[in-house]
Structure 1
Amino acid sequence: MLKTSRFFDLLRIPGFKPLAAATLMLGVAMSFTAPYLSLFGVERAGMTPFRLGVFMTLIAASGVLASTLAGRWTDKSGQHRPLLLAALVAAALGYVCLCVVRDYRLLLLVGIVFIGAGGSAISMVFAFSRAALPVPDPGERVFASATLRTILSAAWVFGPSVGALVLAATSFYGLFLFAAASFATCAFIVWRMREPQGHLGDHTVEDTASEPSASITVPPLTAPGEDAHEDLPGVASANDIGRAVAALTLLGLAANATMIVLPLYIVHGLNGSHLDVSVMLGLGALMEIPMMLALGAKSSALHKPNWLAACAAVHAVYFVGMSLAGNVNVLIPMQMLNAFVVAVTSCLGMTYVQDLMPHSPGRATALFFNAARVGSILSGVLSGLLVQAFSYRGTFLFCGLLALCALVLFAVPGYRYPLMWRAVKRFARELYAKLQAKRRQRVTARGE
């Protein structure tokens, strides 16, 4: 059971309350726009599925570039606030532009310059919180990060539903204006905060090494806790990092394809309503909250690769169920599976990548979010092509295949891949030899 006193301890941390408020407003802005951006492209801008995919892809690519450059700059300069403010202002301007722009080429420009760059605010606000909060205890620092992520999810409990009501009353014009105001409010809160200078939250090598999960990255300067269950090699190799990021990218690809396709599937495939979209997303966000709090409190005692592998397996089951659903009512309870996936990847995925890169918290945080964003780059065009070629159900089955690939990357240790590759080649050679032998037998039989 989680102790209530831990939450009150977080409130006493200097800077936590304004960070929580900024995170909440950022979550409100995102939850108002993300579920309905694809509907806007189809219903108001007249985009085809392929054009919509290109639009979403360019937005994601812009976000990846912006967050990567921001992560490198903040790691060198130690300053997070200026770029975070710039990203929030860019997002606000972008959604104001969407209120009036309908030309496809101008929409692409707005998406690249403003909306995509503004999307990097998500990774920057978490990097800012990791540096800004003066928390010497590693466990409490992880719990604080998980709590902020939970606040972000809490906005998704009511955000899509309220967004659906705003959309029904004021159309996309009012929806995007409200989102722009939320981004502006978040920027005002961050502007009122001070840039941290040399806090323990900067996550130095010394305090990183004292975390139980840090045993996978650097030789610990202090012994890890008895409840730690990380049994990976003592030093994380580039292959370990690459494999983890590749798996998170595949999960991000599947998740972002769902965010694009699901509203269209509900409204145009199953004859649902905008309110059905909001109920589905709101229920999933509601279920994420207790899961995130529990995972955040126990993250240092959990074996992150195993949990991430289980998350990928659940994601595959979710997509198969989505493809077989006959009506909207069947889809609603299935959002509990998606909530588990979001909770695990958000709480354990981010800290896992940060543990793998203890010397570069800014780049590690940006890398985690960019794994999802790189997935969204591919999911934009890919989902458009898949919907046109195989309909919505075929798209979900393809996403399930991606989740299975992520499961293999998380579950199979790196040293086994050469063995697996040799086994596959040996199997292919044997199969080819058998086919050739049967072919020769048939040729011989015909000759006789």
Structure 2
Amino acid sequence: MKSLLARHRFNPVYLAFMAITFMVGIAGALQAPTLSLFLSREVDVRPFWVGLFYTVNAVAGIVVSLLLAKRSDNRGDRRMLILFCCAIAVANAVLFAFNRHYLTLITLGVMLSAIASVAMPQIFALAREYADSSAREAVMFSSVMRAQMSLAWVIGPPLSFSLVLNFGFTLMFGIAALLFVVCIAMIWFTLPSVPRALPTTAMPVAEVSGLKNTDVRLLFIASVLMWSCNSMYIIDMPLYISSTLGLPDSLAGLLMGTAAGLEIPVMLLAGRYVRRTGKRNMMLLAVGCGALFYLGLVLLQNRAALMVLQLFNAVFIGIIAGIGMIWFQDLMPGRPGAATTLFTNSISTGVILAGIFQGTVAENFGHHAVYMLAFALVLVSFALSWRIREARAV
């Protein structure tokens, strides 16, 4: 019995999923935190054009992922799609390493980034299929995988700012490209091809109809608002730290890394206790902590307070990133790729709104007003989440 349990926990495929999620997360965590600084300082554009870049990038990501999501659930090898997206990610990192032309970056760069962004949701979709086919506990499996992303974000942002401040953006993007090359090799040699699991004929139509389901629709809108708040914070915070508060640029990386480190135990605890508390209650707790976080950003501005507030940020993001995705999957049984992509598209839609809001509000009312808006939006998301029913695990 003990040997069977050991094989279940330390299956090499399980470990491969963990390692690949971590590596892809590191590559992304190197590029994303400093993007607003890259556009502001290297490409030399105003806050409005920084926000516009995020918006266009997110729109492209949604369009591309929607085109690929249905195909990934119905035919083809999901593993080959992941490999293709990682190869595009290499090209995207190389482009940003050596190009400083805004029009090129917002066209070709955005197109490559949109395709590359499909890799992570497809890795999670493949992991869900593997968990279902091998009788693994899907919620805990997904939570541990999501914790790998948080671990990557503990390391990635401080490393990103350190590389940029000491060696420049070219080296940072070059290292990201190299990491994606390593990911390609790991995926090719370690990840399995899992046969599609078709939904049963007894499955209610409402449960597989995506946004036609009222609960899925409410969850999507609520998730969009949650991620809008988070994205506004990620876009604005490095600029707010340096230009408004006059604190060191490196503090932005430290804040992101601290939040990501705190997210890891939050995710693991959420995955362990979600069956006892329910996904709905867990999500309401998360959004409540999000409200406290953004209210704190409005009222508090010193270094120590910003560090303490990361605990609330960690509970907020740690739960909605893991349990939120599982909630989508449970509300859309038999369609893990579409459900995971819908969750990812809620993030992308949030980035669209965040890019518009952050660029417009920061340029016209200052950076402080960005967090006042985020506080209002997170309250609306709490009200919407309250109306969503508890989904049954599948």
Alignment counterpart, residue 154 of structure 2, candidates 143, 152, 157: 157
Alignment of 1:310-329 (within 5 A): 310-329=285-304
- The 8 Å contact of residues 161 and 253 in structure 2, kept in 1 or not, is answered as yes
Which of the numbers 109, 114, 117 marks the counterpart of 2:115?
117
Distance 1:313 1:188, change over 3 A: same
SS at match of 2:72: helix
**CA shift digits 1:344-382 (9 cap, x unpaired):** 102210110000000211100100111111111121122
The alpha-carbon deviation at position 205 of structure 1 amounts to 4.4
- Secondary structure of the residue aligned to 1:99 is helix
Per-residue CA deviations over 1:295-336 (Å, capped at 9, x if unaligned) read 112223332122212222221221111122232332111011
Max Rg structure = 1
Q: Distance in 2 between matches of 1:385 and 1:15?
A: 46
Please tell me the root mean square deviation across aligned C-alpha atoms, in Å: 2.6
Q: Which of the residues 341, 355, 360 maps onto 1:385?
A: 360
Q: Is the 8 A contact 1:63 1:373 kept in 2?
A: yes
Please tell me whether residue 187 in structure 1 is matched to residue 162 in structure 2: no
TM-aligned CA deviation for residue 14 of structure 1: 4.7
2:95 and 2:109 in contact (8 A); partners too: no
Match of 2:392? none
Return closer, same or farther for 1:413/1:284 CA change in 2, 3 Å cut-off.
closer
SS at match of 2:318: helix
Equivalent residue number for residue 132 of structure 1 = 130
Tell whether the 8 Å contact from 1:80 to 1:195 is kept in structure 2 after alignment.
Answer: no
Matches within 5 A, 1:385-424: 385-412=360-387
CA gap 1:299/1:13 in 2 versus in 1, 3 angstroms: farther
> Using a 3 Å threshold, how does the CA distance of structure 1 residues 166 and 363 change in structure 2: closer, same or farther?
same
Match of 2:53 in 1: 55
- Structure 1 spans left out of the alignment, 5+ residues: 219-235, 415-448
Give the Cα–Cα distance (whole angstroms) in 1 for the partners of residues 190 and 123 of structure 2: 12
Say if 2:17 and 2:191, in contact at 8 Å, map to a contact too: no
Residues 199 and 333 in structure 2, CA contact (< 8 A), matched pair in contact too:
yes
* 2:337 matches 1:339: no
Give the aligned partner of residue 231 of structure 2: 256
**Change in CA separation of 1:168 and 1:137 when aligned onto 2, cut-off 3 Å:** same
Specify every segment of 5 or more residues in structure 2 that has no aligned partner in the other structure, as ranges.
390-394
The answer to whether the 8 A contact 2:96-2:109 is kept is no
Q: CA 1:356–1:103 in 2, change beyond 3 Å: closer, same or farther?
A: same
**Cα offset, 1:185, TM superposition:** 1.3
Contact 2:21 2:123 in 1 (8 A): yes
Tell me the CA shift for residue 387 of structure 1: 0.5
Bigger Cα displacement from structure 2, 14-23 vs 391-400: 14-23
After TM superposition, give the deviation of residue 74 of structure 1 in Å.
0.9
CA distance in structure 1 between the partners assigned to 2:274 and 2:4 by the alignment? 15
1:166 pairs with 2:163: yes
Task: Tell me if structure 2 keeps the 8 A contact 1:79–1:195.
Answer: no
From 105, 108, 116, give the equivalent of 1:107.
105
Counterpart AA for 1:384: G
Give the secondary structure class of the aligned counterpart of 2:186.
Answer: helix
- Give the CA deviation at 1:114: 1.1
Shift in Å at residue 75 of structure 1?
A: 0.8
Q: Deviations over 1:246-270 (max 9, x none)?
A: 1001101111111100111112221
Matches within 5 A, 1:12-161: 12-77=10-75, 79-133=77-131, 136-137=134-135, 140-161=137-158
Distance in 1 (alpha carbons) for counterparts of 2:3 and 2:222: 36
Q: What percentage of aligned pairs have identical amino acids?
A: 27
Could you state the TM-score of these two structures normalised by the residue count of structure 2? 0.91
| Code of the aligned partner of 2:89 | A
Residue identity matched to 2:280:
P
Deviations 1:139-159 (A, max 9, x none): x22211111110111111122
Deviations 1:26-50 (A, max 9, x none): 1111111111000100011001111
Aligned residues: 385
Distance (Å, rounded) in 2 between the aligned partners of 1:190 and 1:301:
35
